[in-house]
Amino acid sequence: MPLATTDLRVAQLTAGLHFELLEPTGLITVTCWNDEELQCDPGRTYFGFTPSGHASLETACGEFPLAAGMYFCFEGQARIRGGQGLIFSQDGFDGFFHLGGPIESRGRLRYIDGCTDSLLIPPVRRGDPCLNLLHVPPNVSQTAHTHPSGRIGLIVSGEGRCEAETGTQLLRPGSVFLIPAGLRHSFHTGKDHLLIVAFHPDSDFGPTDQDHPMINRTLVANHNRPTP
């Protein structure tokens, strides 16, 4: 059932679960699959994650196995068979093919209140969407905060809760959540942790024509960067 909302939404990962979120960057759809075949249409970029089972991803590039804990990105028509997971799609963006994982048990970058984060699939250019891994340790009460764009994620492991202005939702493995832009919220844990894979539809990070490793590490005689 499509959902466009200003509230915090949480549902369990089941076949047929479908979210929609309209962002300035375009329409984002989230679809879950569970053992059945999932067809992906051309003209969109897809980000996905397989929390359990063994799936197969068939694209124009070939066929690729997806074990539990793997994440991926591709553009265009494809087919996913077997396993379990969810897939985020966004129009107006042409992503790189990317296959990675399995995910680690915590992030490599510091985040607020002792949490950590890893950038699983980075933006191709500054402003593009990205896929992240968020780890909330035990006994954490996050500072309430907002995001300038929506957040959609999956609880991979652990238990806790998300508190928002519109109410509190319990989180457990397989919980899929949607946090609309601007909604004040926070994650909380007790004796257990939370490990989350989250899709961000935009970013303020990433390379530009004037700022990327190739141009930054290209030196001319006066040691200044050349103008692209």
Q: What is the mean pLDDT of the chain?
A: 91
- Topology agreement, domain 9-100 and domain 109-200: yes
- CATH class of this structure's domain 109-200: mainly beta
Domain ranges of the chain: 9-100, 109-200
Portion of the chain with pLDDT greater than 90, in percent: 77
Architecture of domain 9-100: Sandwich (2.60)
Q: What residues does 119 pair with on adjacent strands?
A: 132
For 157-184, what is each residue's pLDDT tens digit? 999 999 999 899 999 999 999 999 999 9
Of 203, 224, 31, the closest CA to residue 124 belongs to 203
| pLDDT surpassing 80 at residue 224 | no
Q: Convert the pLDDT of each residue in 124-158 to its tens digit.
A: 999 999 999 999 999 999 999 999 999 999 999 99
Structure tokens at 171: 């989180």
| Buried residues in 37-59 as b, exposed as e (16+ CB within 10 A) | ebebeeebbbbbbbbbeebebeb
- The whole model's pTM is what? 0.92
Residue that has been written with the tokens 């989250």 in this structure: 198
User: Which range is least confidently modeled, 3-7, 40-44, 57-61, 197-201?
Assistant: 3-7
Q: What pLDDT is attached to residue 19?
A: 82
Bond into 102 cis (ω within 30):
yes
Between these two residues, 106 and 25, which has the higher pLDDT value?
106
User: 20 vs 39, which has greater pLDDT?
Assistant: 39
| Residues facing 121 on adjacent strands | 131
